[in-house]
């Protein structure tokens, strides 16, 4: 339990990692000084001899066909070097799974440039010139004939009988099931998805005018338990509609890219969340072998899911560079980033939830429509169902969903994709139920939340999946204590003047880890440790933090460890993508496996050199030694490894590591003791992390303006690896969620199909002054039982809680019916209160 003193200190001052020397301790990461002094070089900071700049022509229309491009005037401008159109792009390429299955390319998928733009702002062509100004003037000198085509922005408009389609062929992806796998053969390739049409009936829309989410047929559905019986047994049944916002990822580093070709290889400098796995992505987009691609990405200015393997637009400078025979820099402007930078999809939902008298959920019927934009279907609708199923543990549940295409910018995964929206839809219902049943808000969440290896989602092959561990109850209890929940409830002032206080709590969770990646480091002949990190430096510090496990396990001072990251020519191991908050879990496991490999090799080298049995040798204090007997330094052991060769110095690599890792091991061979291993640790369940979030707000009911007075996020993330970085994630991602509650949005003119919120001051990401001065965080620090270090990911789990705790605090202050969509601004509150409390335009995502 936190002490009294702890309650008033920032969480980072709490003590974590009692059992460890390095894990759970604050330290200065190797990239810190460069970041805070501005010496860190992001993609657009690079300059190469002879470098050209390129600019893009974006589609002015939400859906159109390029009939004709006249570039004569543009190309005649002095300094204009090349133009690239969609006709010159490589065709979409198939990809290969680890099992050897070919995934057929989707011929209708997104490409870097297009002749049929499906959203306003979609890149149509690119021009390279000696400088940016000349390139921009060349774009203005183009004569492009666009034929306007029908468009639709709101999925409900497209679902109406006779409603417009975003694509000529329809509004929904149709994926035929893959053919059955024959025994002993590889799974056959699934056919590429097709575009179909989904329309609802007039009757389906009967309730839409009253602001209730219409429910027509969907393509996807699952259920477990007896939902109907659950509702019959319920003491209270709520049936609520809720609409969540579309929000840009708003990475401060836009997706700028520099590319050039040298000796048959393309060098690409660009921000990415995942260093190693961006190589195969670029290779596929460019039709190259991965060995022909070098990625440089030492620093990335934010991703939040929008740069999992960089962005397909990065191939534009690569192709222009080839064509112009010069390096090409593409600096993406803020305007362009708003169009191509991805966004979280709005989810339009309707949830019917049955509660027993004690607040236990007896049945849950969830219906969601996801607005995915014009390209690939994001998984938010499905994830929303699975996360709600885990977090609230309904005794029976049905989920139905459809992901609808529209002529709005392409969506991508954004921090807790789907999970966040599911929580934001569910939490106000929990709040309302607690008020109706006269239950405490913490108590109703406590009675429903998962515990231990809780099951969730539908059964597959007769079995439901479960999480590796959940201690969210403890997080709720400790969080309530630290937030002084009961005291605040008891002392909540009545309305003072025009001010009303509100208190909110929310539970939250998301995926927190994967398995099966490779760890790689060297013990050098001088005794230093050279750690190879294939993790992207996306701001979470996992690029460095995960490798603390190597030093911890082998008892090596952190100062003796040198880290290589951010350049794929530097022989990095196969690494997970940094998406889905999997890195901390996956790569601490890989680091642990590589450390175990090093220990074993050190023991074997000592045995070969000094005699005895391997198991009698201990690795500690930068030595390998027999207890009370002879030993050698790590430097000596590394020198010996080089003499021994074979697996000891990397001339042989384990069979089971990825071929990418094998190539890196081969390149490093002979430089010292090479420790390399794949994570094969057992793992039972799906790794999930949890957060309990608490917020207090004050609403001025005469203006609608409100302030967040206080906020606490209490995390269940397993072992705490790096408290400062963890705190940054817990609060930073809470703020990302809070942004969805207090103002972040896209706004379109529905008649013209144009986005009108194109700048920060218009789409309003939260500022630091929108947040309470003393936001707090803490973590349970209970190890996950299914991973050797016990650490899980944390990037995404806080997001839903950040948003929902604030929404819950607002409804506590102004009433349940005022808020039916997010974000909530002064106008939302005031318009509703003034009109007698109906929610304002409840089914409209963009105002």
Partner 1 sequence: MAVIRDVMPAFELLQPSSVADAQHLLARYGSDGWVLAGGLDSFDWLKDRIKKPKAVIDLSGIHELKGIRSTADGIEIGAMTTLTEVAQNPVIKQKYSLLSQSAELVASPQIRNQGTIGGNVSQDTRCWYYRGGWPCYRAGGNICYADTPVARNREHAILEAERCVAVNPSDTAPALIALDAKFVIRTAKGERVVDAEGYYVAPDRDITRLTILQAGDLLTAIRIPSAWAGAEFYFEKVRDRNVWDFPLLNVASAMFTSGNTIDKIRIAVNAAAARPLRLKKVEDAVRGKQRSAETGEIAGKLSVQGAVPLQFNAYKIPLMRNLVKRSITGVANGGQEAAWAS
- Footprint of partner 1 (CB under 8 A): 55-58, 60, 132-133, 136-137, 139-144, 333-336, 496-499, 698, 700, 702-705, 707, 709, 742-743, 747-752, 754, 756-762, 764, 766-770, 773, 825-827, 830-831, 834, 841, 846-847
Kindly state the tokens that stand for 726. 């963890």
Query: Comparing C-alpha atoms, which of 142, 222, 243 is closest to residue 844?
Result: 243
Beta carbon nearer to partner 1, 74 or 319 = 74
Q: In whole angstroms, what is the distance from residue 756 CA to residue 746 CA? A: 8
Q: How far is the CB of 345 from partner 1 (least distance, A)?
A: 20
Q: Could you tell me the smallest distance in angstroms from the CB atom of residue 581 to partner 1? A: 28
Residue (29 or 844) nearer to partner 1, CB: 844
Residue 90 beta carbon to partner 1: minimum distance, rounded to whole angstroms: 25
C-alpha Rg value of the chain to the nearest Å: 28
User: Within 10 A of 623 (CB to CB), how many other CB atoms are there?
Assistant: 19
Distance in Å, CB of 373 to partner 1, minimum:
19
Q: Considering beta carbons, is residue 564 or 757 the nearer one to partner 1?
A: 757
Task: Report in angstroms how near the CB of residue 131 gets to partner 1 at its nearest.
Answer: 10
- Least spacing, CB of residue 698 vs partner 1, in Å: 6
Shortest spacing between CB 142 and partner 1, in angstroms = 4
- Beta-strand pair 776-779/80-85: unpaired
CB of 220 within 8 A of CB of 382?
yes
Own/partner pairs, 648-653, CB within 8 angstroms, 24+ separation: 648/601, 648/604, 648/605, 648/673, 648/674, 649/673, 649/674, 650/522, 650/674, 650/676
The nearest distance, CB 372 to partner 1, in angstroms, is: 22
Parallel/antiparallel/unpaired status of strands 529-532 and 561-564 = parallel
What gap in Å lies between CA 434 and CA 438, rounded to an integer? 6
CA separation for the pair 480, 692 (Å, rounded): 9
Classified as helix, coil or strand, 543 is helix
For partner 1, which is the closer residue by CB, 203 or 335? 335
Instruction: State which residue, 184 or 493, has the beta carbon closest to partner 1.
Output: 493
Query: What whole-number distance in Å separates Cα of residue 758 and Cα of residue 767?
Result: 17
Q: Give 96 or 847: the residue with its C-beta nearer to partner 1.
A: 847
Shortest distance (Å) from residue 767 CB to partner 1: 5
Residue 275 or 371: the one with the smaller Cβ distance to partner 1 is 371
Q: List 779's β-bridge partners, or say none.
A: 715
Tokens standing for residue 449: 């939340």
Q: What are residue 242's phi and psi, to 5 degrees? A: -150, 140
- Torsion sign over Cα 815, 821, 825, 830: negative
Closest CB to partner 1 among residues 113, 442: 113
H or E segment at 660? helix 659-668
Min CB(134)–partner 1 separation in Å: 10
| Cβ contact 169:83 at 8 Å | no
CB of 83 to partner 1, least distance (A): 12
Nearer to partner 1, 107 or 750 (CB): 750
Based on CB atoms, which residue is closest to partner 1, 72 or 680?
Answer: 72
| Three-state DSSP state, 73 | helix
Beta carbon of residue 764, minimum distance to partner 1 (angstroms, whole number): 6
Retrieve residue 419's tokens. 């999970």
Work out the number of other CB atoms within 10 angstroms of the CB of residue 7: 14
Centre a 10 Å sphere on the Cβ of residue 193 and count the other Cβ atoms it contains.
Answer: 18
The beta-strand segments (E) located in 387-438 are 397-405
Joined together, the tokens standing for residue 743 give: 């103002």
With respect to partner 1, which residue has the nearer C-beta, 100 or 497? 497
User: Which CB sits closer to partner 1, 285 or 748?
Assistant: 748
């Amino acid at each position: 339990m936190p002490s009294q003193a702890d309650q008033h200190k920032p969480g980072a001052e709490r003590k974590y990692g009692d059992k460890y020397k390095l894990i759970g301790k604050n330290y200065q990461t190797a990239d810190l000084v460069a970041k805070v002094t501005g010496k860190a070089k992001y993609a657009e900071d690079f300059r190469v001899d002879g470098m050209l700049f390129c600019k893009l022509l974006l589609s002015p229309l939400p859906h159109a066909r390029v009939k004709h491009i006249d570039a004569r005037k543009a190309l005649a401008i002095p300094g204009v070097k090349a133009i690239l159109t969609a006709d010159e792009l490589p065709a979409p390429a198939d990809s290969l799974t680890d099992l050897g299955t070919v995934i057929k390319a989707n011929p209708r998928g997104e490409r870097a440039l297009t002749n049929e733009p499906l959203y306003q702002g979609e890149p149509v062509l690119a021009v390279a010139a000696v400088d940016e100004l000349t390139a921009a003037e060349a774009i203005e000198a183009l004569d492009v004939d666009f034929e306007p085509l029908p468009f639709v922005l709101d999925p409900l408009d497209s679902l109406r009988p006779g409603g417009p389609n975003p694509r000529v062929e329809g509004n929904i992806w149709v994926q035929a099931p893959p053919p059955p796998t024959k025994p002993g053969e590889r799974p056959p390739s699934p056919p590429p998805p097709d575009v179909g049409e989904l329309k609802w009936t007039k009757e389906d829309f009967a309730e839409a005018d009253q602001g209730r989410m219409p429910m027509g047929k969907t393509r996807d559905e699952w259920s477990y338990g007896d939902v109907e019986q659950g509702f019959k047994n319920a003491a209270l049944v709520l049936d609520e509609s809720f609409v969540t916002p579309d929000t840009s990822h708003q990475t401060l580093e836009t997706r700028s890219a520099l590319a050039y070709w040298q000796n048959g290889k393309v060098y690409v400098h660009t921000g990415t969340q995942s260093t190693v796995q961006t190589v195969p992505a670029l290779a596929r987009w460019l039709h190259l072998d991965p060995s022909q691609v070098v990625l440089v990405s030492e620093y990335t200015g934010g991703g939040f899911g929008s740069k999992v393997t960089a962005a397909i637009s990065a191939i534009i400078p690569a192709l222009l560079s080839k064509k112009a025979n010069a390096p090409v820099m593409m600096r993406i402007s803020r305007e362009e980033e708003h169009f191509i930078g991805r966004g979280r999809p709005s989810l339009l939902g309707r949830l019917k939830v049955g509660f027993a008298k004690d607040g236990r959920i007896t049945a849950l019927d969830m219906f969601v429509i996801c607005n995915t934009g014009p390209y690939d279907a994001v998984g938010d609708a499905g994830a929303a169902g699975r996360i709600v199923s885990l977090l609230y543990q309904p005794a029976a549940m049905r989920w139905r969903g459809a992901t609808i295409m529209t002529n709005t910018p392409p969506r991508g995964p954004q921090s807790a994709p789907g999970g966040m929206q599911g929580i934001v839809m569910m939490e106000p219902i929990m709040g309302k139920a607690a008020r109706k049943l006269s239950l405490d808000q913490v108590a109703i969440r406590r009675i429903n939340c998962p515990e231990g290896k809780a099951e969730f989602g539908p059964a597959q092959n007769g079995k439901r999946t479960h999480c590796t561990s959940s201690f969210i109850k403890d997080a709720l209890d400790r969080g309530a204590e630290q937030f002084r929940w009961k005291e605040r409830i008891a002392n909540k002032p009545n309305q003072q003047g025009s001010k009303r206080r509100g208190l909110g709590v929310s539970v939250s969770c998301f995926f927190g880890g994967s398995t099966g990646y490779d760890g790689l480091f060297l013990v050098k002949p001088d005794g230093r440790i050279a750690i190879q990190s294939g993790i992207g430096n996306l701001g979470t510090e996992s690029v460095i933090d995960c490798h603390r496990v190597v030093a911890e396990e082998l008892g090596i001072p952190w100062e003796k460890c040198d880290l290589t990251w951010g350049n794929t020519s530097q022989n990095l191991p196969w690494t997970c993508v940094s998406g889905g908050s999997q890195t901390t879990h996956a790569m601490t496991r890989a680091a642990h496996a590589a450390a175990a490999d090093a220990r074993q090799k050190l023991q074997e080298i000592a045995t070969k050199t000094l005699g005895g049995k391997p198991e009698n040798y201990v690795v500690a204090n930068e030595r390998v030694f027999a207890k009370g007997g002879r030993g050698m330094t790590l430097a000596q052991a590394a020198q010996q490894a080089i003499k021994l060769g074979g697996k000891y110095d990397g001339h042989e690599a384990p069979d089971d590591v990825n071929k990418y890792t094998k190539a890196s091991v081969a390149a490093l061979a002979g430089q010292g003791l090479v420790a390399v291993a794949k994570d094969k640790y057992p793992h039972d369940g799906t790794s999930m992390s949890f957060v309990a979030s608490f917020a207090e707000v004050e609403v001025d009911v005469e203006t609608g303006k409100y302030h967040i007075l206080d906020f606490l996020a209490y995390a269940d993330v397993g072992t705490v690896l790096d408290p400062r970085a963890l705190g940054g994630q817990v609060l930073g991602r809470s703020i990302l969620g809070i942004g969805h509650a207090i103002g972040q949005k896209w706004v379109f003119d529905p008649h013209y199909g144009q986005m009108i919120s194109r700048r920060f001051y218009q789409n309003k990401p939260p500022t630091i002054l929108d947040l309470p001065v003393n936001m707090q965080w803490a973590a349970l620090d209970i190890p996950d039982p299914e991973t050797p270090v016990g650490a899980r990911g944390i990037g995404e789990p806080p997001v839903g809680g950040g948003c929902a705790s604030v929404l819950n605090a607002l409804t506590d202050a102004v009433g349940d019916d005022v808020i039916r969509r997010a974000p909530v601004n002064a106008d939302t509150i005031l318009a509703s209160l003034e009109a007698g409390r109906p929610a304002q335009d409840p089914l409209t995502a963009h105002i």
